[in-house]
Structure 1
Amino acid sequence: MEANQCPVVVEPSYPDLVINVGEVTLGEENRKKLQKIQRDHEKERVMQAACALLNSGGGVIRMAKKVEHPVEMGLDLEQSLRELIQSSDLQAFFETKQQGRRFYIFVKSWSSGPFPEDGSVKPRLCSLSSSLYRRSETSVRSMDSREAFCFLKAKKRKAKILEEGPFHKIHKGIHQELPNSDPADPNSDPADPNSDPADPIFQKDYLEYGEILPFPESQLVEFKQFSTKHIQEYVKKIIPEYVPAFANTGGGYLFIGVDDKSRKVLGCAKENVDPDSLRRKIEKAIYKLPCVHFCQPQRPITFTLKIVDVLKRGELYGYACMIRVKPFCCAVFSEAPNSWIVEDKYVCSLTTEKWVGMMTDTDPDLLQLSKDFECQLSLSSGPPLSRPVYSKKGLEHKKELQQLLFSVPPGYLRYTPESLWRDLTSEHEGLGELINKQMQPFFRGILIFSRSWAVDLNLQEKPGVICDALLIAQNSTPILYTILREQDAEGQDYCTRTAFTLKQKLVNMGGYTGKVCVKAKVLCLRPESSAEALEASMSPMDYPASYSLAGTEHMEALLQSLVIVLLGFRSLLSDQLGCEVLNLLTAKQYEILSRSLRKNRELFVHGLPGSGKTIIAINIMEKIRNVFHCEEKRILYVCENQPLRNFISHKNICQAETRKTFLRENFEHIQHIVIDEAQNFRTEDGDWYGKAKTITRRAKDGPGILWIFLDYFQTSHLDCSGLPPLSDQYSIEELTRIVRNADPIAKYLQKEMQVVRNNPSFNIPTGCLEVLLEAEWSQGVQGTLQIKKHLTVEQIMTYVADTCRRFFERGYSPKDVAVLVSTAKEVEHYKYELLKAMRKKRVVQLSDACDMLGDHIVLDSVRRFSGLERNIVFGIHPRTADPAILPNILICLASRAKQHLYIFPWGGH
């Protein structure tokens, strides 16, 4: 993106995007008096700001006017705004207010979905111009955003059909087999002399002055006469319209030097043009045209340029130009689209590639891979910057989570979470009275407390803030209160920045499509002055009444977007799918993450298999960074195996090491430690728990964080783990809901966990397995569990290869598959046989789990795959030296599979 010179002014006391476009002449009569160049320049500034705000979550355009009294905007500005949103209903997205010499336009975020007028689908972006042209009979037409959206979707769909069609499975180079065809229409080659009357003329090396061409202008033919002056500039001007129009609409011919009415060849006198220079100019103009591909060959635009002699009574009179344009496979633009977005506090123009990517962005094809997910937020109905959100089937929908966490009570104002409200009022005398006084005007809604809303929004915590509270109340705009211990000039900046971030996330992450703002208000518990409320000085104007929440439906819709903001996390599917996808935490996961880190510096999180321990570990490290204002290098993540360590390292949120490295090295710079899969730790190299406690307690300003995640059911050894006795794990949270695995896999896990509970190995503490009695499973997730007995190694490998091939034909990829064996030594034992079977079936190569993000099938041991997951898992000959922990190993194996699990027992047992 290229930064424009119009900065976005995010005012220190204003929690919204505010674009200051300077002085603008307003009023219909006043604007008519302006010179056209000035009128157009002012309109361009306003329209760029409007487009950028529509595409960036909404905001406010501020402009200065020359008069104090109220004045209308002006018909040309109003009409341009209507064209931008392609609707006559301006108030759906724009409302205005005036205050003295300031004029404000309040802009609601754009969102996809149907147009209310005719039900057709809205484009994903607003644009002042698409820069896409097409032929319409004998004319060239500019595509508006709606037409461009449909055109690009059709091109992308056809490219995908070609790529995935039956011929593609045989020859990936299908495009190379059809060199003269348009992928959109294989029969549209205009160069076929039997169906193309213009071709015989195009094949000629000269034309006669005054001759009448034997065909008229049509969809495939355009006649243009040379301009009498500035010939090369004229040609350079028309090329970006006519050549893309032909390329985007089945191809055609542009004849320059032919009168469009009489069809007479007039050419250009030889003394007025240099044919070689003209050729270079035309070629440069065509090669400069932006082309965007959805297909693999990615060829440039195909054209033939001929500059031919024009003879007059046998003598050279001048020259004519003929350009034949082949149909283009995808999209040709005249220039970059005229579309804008807010980025890094600047209004930026979108590049052609970025614009097309956003316009054609669609929800990932999850259903092709799995029936296990339910869409919570779709790109087809969300704002331009939103990402798709999915929840695992059987888990709470965003509406259910909203009712569970943030229900709107009938007829009164509820404070939540109640436990936090009790803690805050007991810790801070007078807080209850201060809050209650502020809430007197509000009779219905919800006040949501947090020790730091900034941390909840992935911002840094501010010292001196007692708490923040978000008010969602009927007949009010949302209000974010920040309560300070004492007056602090930076408190208003903190509150405003937090409110600004919340507003942006409610739209761009939570997908809220209504009109919304979040006002910022700072309160001081013991103010130095007599004022109890230090309200952040708002702008000299206020938002229109339509920005207030009218009733239950509006409040709940906003709160459901808030659920996505607070409970949304980057899905582990994102890397696999190649696009950003969000999942939602469960209510219990969110409860653990919402704990005060200052009050829970050491915590043991016991989680059943597939309950999301690693997800919480990742999220808690991000929270540690913001609460304690520390860099990533101050946070250490420790696990047993190298593959999980590598997986976490790629996220760049901490330093990640294995247990062995942790015990071997010094970590003088570390302040906080998160330990994962701790049940598989051992004391063979030293006291890891003692070292972790020593490191996190050495800071002068108080202990650091030590959170330990474990699952005794997955204990895969008989040694001492180094964990403190269960009675000494003073602060424990339990995750009892299995959210990862499909129904048949979850039932298998339940059976094997019951075996472990009935006969635990001696190194598992008594009582820790009773958590199984509270276990829950998400119901309704389809999957596969097959246990194949009495197969030889060769039969197993053939079965794995055949099954992988079938899954790949259904749309799965190698990234979905893991083949797990008992030990690292056995990997090499099975690798040769598996590769041999897969080569026979033309299935892809293998790699170990250290590169989880690679496009390959993982072949590794069950223990080394601990903490990771794949959709499809094959377990080959799972066994242990001591049969007592075989059920534990089977639990470790099965819990890695999200959808499909195949187990090949050793010896058929």
Structure 2
Amino acid sequence: MWPKSTSLSVKPFSTDLIIDAGKVTLGEGNRKKMNSSQREQERKKLAQAACALLNSGGGVIEMEMANRFDHPVELGLDLERSLRELIQSDFQTFFETNQKGGHFYIFVKSWNCGPFPEDRSTKPRICSLSSSLFQRYGTSVHLLESRDAFDFLKTKIRNIKCSLINEGAPPAKMLRAVHQNSSESHAFQLFNSEKLEYGAVLPFPESDFIEFKQFSTKSCQEYVKDIIPKYISAFANSCGGYLFIGVEDNSKKVMGCPKDNGDRNSLEKVIAEAISKLPIVHFSSSEARVSYKTNVIDVFREGELHGYLCAIKVEPFCCAVFSKAPNSWMVDEKKGVYSLTSREWADMMTDADPGATSNLPPNRSLSDTFECQLSLYDSPPRCRPVYSRKGLEHKADLQQHLFPVSQGCLIYTPKPLWEELSSQHEGLRDLLEEQMRPCSCGVLILSRSWAVDLDLEEKQEVICDALLIAQNSPPTLFTVLGEQDGRDQYYCTRTAFTLKQKLVNMGGYPGKIRVTTRILYLSPKSSAQAQQTSRCPIDYPSSYNLADTQQMEALLQALVIVLLGFRSFLSDELGCEILNLLTAQQYEIFSKNLHKTKELFVHGLPGSGKTIMAMKIMEKIRTMFPCEAHRILYICENQPLRDLISSQNVCHAVTRKTFMMRNFEEFKHIVIDEAQNFRTENGDWYQKAKAITQREKNDPGILWIFLDYFQTNHLDDSGLPPYSCQYPREILTKVVRNADKIASYLQNVMQEVRKNPPPNIFPGSLELFHEPEQVQGVSGILEIMYLNLEKMVFFVAKKCQLLWRSGYSSRDIAVLFSTTDEMYRYKDKFLREMKKRKVSQVNNESSFTNLMFDSVRRFSGLERNIVFGINPQTADPAISHNLLLCLASRAKKHLYILYL
């Protein structure tokens, strides 16, 4: 048995994950003197700790040496061998050791698939002590090693998906496969026997589908319970077969279980219970259990009942049957060291980039629109894949823009913040420059709070934090405070720990890493002195220092993902979590000091990511001003956008009408989206929002307003303050949503809006933007046609049929009308024609409920891969181009504008 997780503990209050393994005997000579049971227990305990750290971002195993040494001592061959077997790679790649006083340390680097470059397609994502997956090979049962288990699971998934595509159901025919040969025939006859003679020799041998086992001296029930998990798992994961318990495997003699050692009912019961407890992982919607039959056969000896032979017939299983939960471990501060369930383990083992799986058909590959920034194939186990839209800055470009590294130079960044902090706090410049003098190459990244940047609670007393990434040094986090308060070390340690974990488990940094801390106190009377605290009690190997600019840049690119990464809306579409990256322009707005920017107007061009920014800001508000999601109010004009934001669980989302109908005094922070389409028909929403957020004069709340005058789709008073009063103000000009052809079309329509602006738009507001920054690289389709209604309905239905056949789903498509009335008038016509052409890909979608029919106005703020615009006309020509702009900007890849 493997030791329980309670035999290992996680040391609290550290900048790294440190597992305390307790006392361990070290040194080859000393370990040979131990009894085998104790030696094995220590070996397994150490392997479990190493497995947990490999799968969780790396860390340190601390052991108290049971036998004290005044000289260096080696681990011991059995301990080192167990660690080598775990990684199946060179020991030094993932482990280093150090001895200090009475303690011995093993430094563990996070697991990734890098050590196996010769075979990228078969690399397991995580480390395991045992897969607990068995298969049948000849007359033996084989426990699958990690790489074999990985291949086995991938094959099962591929077979299931092929079966679902070809037949629409799991491969049921496979489950009833029968071996057609003489041995199978004899086994079938034996299985169906009612009685056997003691000592009779069976006329067939063991084979790949026949196993003989004889009861041991222990109770028959206990013996059956012990062997069933291994053998049933093996047969189910192979081609099925027969397990006969009560037959000597060498002589093939029938022996049975003596009746005094077990009865028929108890044997049948223990078999059923043991098989029912086998962990099963399905890769389809099936909930089937292992298919088997049992026959307890009477064994007679000289005419008297002697005992019983247990015969079990097992069918091959569609998915994976485990003998028990895999021996694979992870660790975090809250849960400690814990084992993965079979489901968790299988999911992590088979985890892959969305673009590398059949989640999407080839012609809908993510590579058409997105560029992979972080692949799962060479990243730590807890990472999620990171993609950015084609044409946007690569993480290397973002790193050079935000955190540049220059040989022989130390760079302070961001420079505006450095200058602002230096002018606000006398002596800060001298204090930090004194600390930086030993550094000749690197970058010092300043922040008002690195804790907030990492989604931790802010500490008000912190003047600033500064992260030093320098050559020949580990990353170092400096925290500058005015005075001590007793919890300074906790803040600094917590921030450094979170930074290290995120650099590996989110940013995907593949190297050896630790983060050290220093606390500096800026005396109000003297700028020349600083008290430094924080000293790591563990001496890390020099390999944990950043050796050169290449390592520094790799670490900084991981930092880019940590700071600019956000959960993509594609995650819900693909059924797996993926991350996107903010643009540099978006990040500069996002990184503003909310304490000083309580109110902000963000003007953004169509497709520039205003709604994403609104969500990120609400997440930041929750961190900086600790509050629950239901205390942050998000207001938009239309219900579909409200529902989308509500599903993200970051705020309380309402429409403008609801906001004006109810009292929202319990809220302090408000974020408003698509504000150009607000109206004053129900009252002055802007003054009401200001009154709520400025209710506490000494501590006002946040009021951020996102808008785009180009997309104004009405002629009423919007309720926004005059353009000249919209201050402070930021702009987003980089269009990140639309394919090239659609983006070019949008530019042309924007020029028309500039030439003929609606009368309710403030003069000069459209001149805020000069030329949009169009991101190139994504191919798309733009078609503009004039058709009568009948041909229009036929065209949309036929086009949808082709799109469904090529792999798109109803969730990808929006059919947008000029008005809601038109949508209700014509929707049924389009649906009826579409249903005539439905294909297998959409047969599972109930009544096309995921297909979006709506008006252009109601769909504001949302997007789809394919958009059909049905006769985009408006009663007032003053906003005709605005309406067209709203329509076109909703389409990511395909846009069809159909005029009557």
Matches within 5 A, 1:698-717: 698-717=695-714
Contact 1:189 1:327 in 2 (8 A): no
Correspondent of 2:587 among 562, 586, 590: 590
String of CA shifts for 1:864-884, please: whole Å, max 9, x gaps.
111111111111121211012
Task: List alignment gaps of at least 5 residues for structure 2.
Answer: none
TM-score of the aligned structures, taking structure 1 as reference length: 0.93
Summarize the alignment of residues 852-871 of structure 1 with structure 2, pairs less than 5 Å apart.
856-871=850-865
Q: Partners in 1 of 2:765 and 2:203 — Cα distance?
A: 92
CA-to-aligned-CA distance 1:198-238 (integer Å, 9 cap, x gap): 33333333333333322222211211112133222112111
- Cα distance between partner residues in 1 of 2:9 and 2:792: 62
User: 2:605·2:710 contact (CA, 8 Å) conserved in 1?
Assistant: yes
Q: Which residue identity lines up with residue 389 of structure 1 in the other structure? A: V
Q: Structure 2 vs 1, CA of residues 398 and 443 (structure 1 numbering), >3 Å: closer, same or farther?
A: same
For 1:63, give the aligned amino acid: M
CA gap 1:328/1:463 in 2 versus in 1, 3 angstroms: same
Pick aligned residue for 2:339 from 349, 358, 361: 349
Maintained 8 Å contact 2:443/2:468: yes
| SS of equivalent residue, structure 2 residue 310 | strand
Structure 1 stretch displaced more, 621-630 or 508-517: 621-630
Measured after TM superposition, the shift of residue 789 of structure 1 is: 1.1
Q: Does 1:233 align with 2:235?
A: no
Per-residue deviation at 1:694? 2.3
| Aligned residue among 192, 217, 223 for 2:206 | 217
Structure 1 residues 714 and 117 mapped into 2: Cα distance closer, same or farther (>3 Å)? closer
Q: What is the Cα deviation at residue 112 of structure 1?
A: 2.6
Match of 1:190 in 2: 179
Aligned equivalents of 1:312 and 1:22: distance in 2? 56
CA shift, 1:131, in A, is: 0.7
Identify the range of structure 1 (402-411 vs 106-115) with the bigger mean alpha-carbon deviation.
106-115
The residue type paired with residue 798 of structure 1 is F
1:30 maps to which residue? Answer: 30
Aligned match of 2:81: 79
Q: In 2, Cα distance between the equivalents of 1:118 and 1:422? A: 50
Residue in 2 that maps onto 1:145: 146
Q: How does 1:750-761 map to 2 (within 5 A)?
A: 750-761=747-758
CA separation in 1, counterparts of 2:525 and 2:126?
Answer: 49
> Greater shift after overlay, 480-489 or 327-336?
480-489
Alpha-carbon separation, structure 2, partners of 1:806 and 1:577:
20
- Paired residue for 2:644, among 643, 647, 665? 647
RMSD: 2.4
- 2:350 equivalent in structure 1: 360
Aligned residues between the structures: 884
- 2:318: which partner in 1? 329
Structure 1 residue 691 corresponds to structure 2 residue 688: yes
Matched, 1:817 2:813: yes
SS state at 1:753 partner: helix
- 1:702 Cα deviation after fit: 3.1
Match of 1:452 in 2: 449
Contact 1:844–1:856 (CA under 8 A) maintained in structure 2: no
Deviation of 1:130 (Å): 0.8
1:199 to 175, 188, 211: 188
Distance 2:260 2:681 in 1: 93
Structure 2 residue aligned with 1:546, among 537, 543, 550? 543
Match of 2:795 in 1: 799
Match of 1:767 in 2: 764
Mark the CA change 1:117 to 1:867 in structure 2 (over 3 Å): closer, same or farther: closer
User: Aligned pair 1:21/2:17, yes or no?
Assistant: no
Asked if 1:305 is matched to 2:288, the reply is no
With over 3 angstroms needed to count, the CA separation of the structure-2 counterparts of 1:732 and 1:814, relative to structure 1, is: same
Aligned AA (1:155): K
- Tell me, yes or no, if structure 1 residue 296 matches structure 2 residue 296: no
What per-residue deviation string (whole Å, max 9, x for no partner) do you get for residues 811-847 of structure 1?
A: 222221111111222222122212211222237999x
Partner residue of 1:424?
A: 421
Query: Per-residue displacement from partner, 1:230-252 (whole Å, max 9, x unpaired)?
Result: 22211211111111111111111
Amino acid at match of 2:511: G
Distance 1:338 1:174 in 2: 28
Task: Provide the secondary structure at the position in 2 that maps to 1:614.
Answer: helix
1:372-383 superposed matches below 5 A: 372-383=369-380
**Cα distance in 1 between the residues matched to 2:20 and 2:639:** 52
CA 1:631–1:212: 2 relative to 1, 3 Å: closer
SS in 2 for 1:683: coil
Indicate conservation of the 8 Å contact 1:99/1:540, yes or no: no
- Is the 8 Å Cα contact of residues 870 and 898 (structure 1) preserved in structure 2? yes
Instruction: Tell me if structure 1 keeps the 8 A contact 2:813–2:851.
Output: yes
- 1:319-366: CA deviations, max 9, x gaps? 222222111111111101111112424111111111111111122245
Report what 2:126 is aligned to. Answer: 125
- What amino acid is the match of 2:819? T
Deviation at residue 641 of structure 1 after TM alignment: 1.1
CA distance in 2, matches of 1:529, 1:9: 41
Contact 2:170/2:286 (CA < 8 Å) preserved in 1?
no
SS at match of 2:10: coil
Q: Give the conservation status (yes or no) of the 8 Å contact 1:845–1:857.
A: no
Tell me which of 603, 610, 618 is aligned to 1:606.
603
Task: For 1:622 and 1:551, locate their aligned partners in 2 and report how far apart those are by CA, in whole Å.
Answer: 35
Distance 1:812 1:46 in 2: 49
Contact 1:635 1:673 in 2 (8 A): yes
1:150 CA displacement: 1.1
Counterpart of 1:258, as a letter, is V
Aligned with 1:22: secondary structure? strand
Residues 1:696 and 1:296: Cα distance change in structure 2 (over 3 Å) = closer
What is the TM-score of this pair, normalised by structure 2?
0.94
Distance 1:194 1:219, change over 3 A: closer
Is contact 2:328–2:345 with CA below 8 Å preserved after alignment?
A: yes
- Contact in 2 for aligned 1:636/1:655 (Cα 8 Å): yes
Q: Which residue identity does 1:585 align to in structure 2?
A: L
**Residues in 1 aligned to 2:291 and 2:88: alpha-carbon distance in whole angstroms:** 34
Deviation (angstroms), 1:407: 1.6
Q: Please, which moves more after superposition, 300-309 or 707-716? A: 300-309
Q: Is 1:101 equivalent to 2:95 in the alignment? A: no
Of the candidates 241, 246, 249, which is equivalent to residue 235 of structure 2? 246
What secondary structure, in the 3-state scheme, does the structure 2 residue paired with 1:786 have?
strand
Residue 190 of structure 1 aligns to a residue in which SS?
Answer: coil
> SS state of the match for residue 122, structure 2?
coil
Instruction: Name 1:523's counterpart in structure 2.
Output: 520
Q: Say which SS state the counterpart of residue 489 (structure 1) adopts.
A: coil
CA distance in 1, matches of 2:363, 2:541: 45
SS in 1 for 2:596: coil
Match of 1:554, SS state, is helix
1:895 aligned onto 2:895: no
Residue 540 of structure 2: SS of its match in structure 1? coil
2 CA distance for matches of 1:464 and 1:310? 82
- Of residues 734-743 and 694-703 in structure 1, the stretch that sits farther from structure 2 once superposed is 694-703
User: Match of 1:380, SS?
Assistant: helix
Counterpart code for 1:866: S
The Cα offsets for residues 530-559 of structure 1, whole Å up to 9 and x where unpaired, read as: 994444433322211111111111111111
Whether contact under 8 Å (1:819, 1:860) holds in the other structure is: yes
Work out whether 1:676 is the aligned partner of 2:673: yes
1:251/1:602 CA distance change after superposition, 3 Å: same
Q: Does 1:52 align with 2:52?
A: yes
2:831 paired with 1:835: yes
The secondary structure found in structure 2 opposite 1:414 is strand
Deviation at 1:313, TM superposition (A): 5.0
Distance 1:531 1:347, change over 3 A: farther
CA distances 1:58-95 after superposition (whole Å, capped 9, x unpaired): 111112113152322222211111111122x1111111
Match of 2:385 in 1: 388
Aligned amino acid, residue 726 of structure 1: Y
Distance 1:843 1:249, change over 3 A: closer
Unaligned runs of 5+ in 1: none
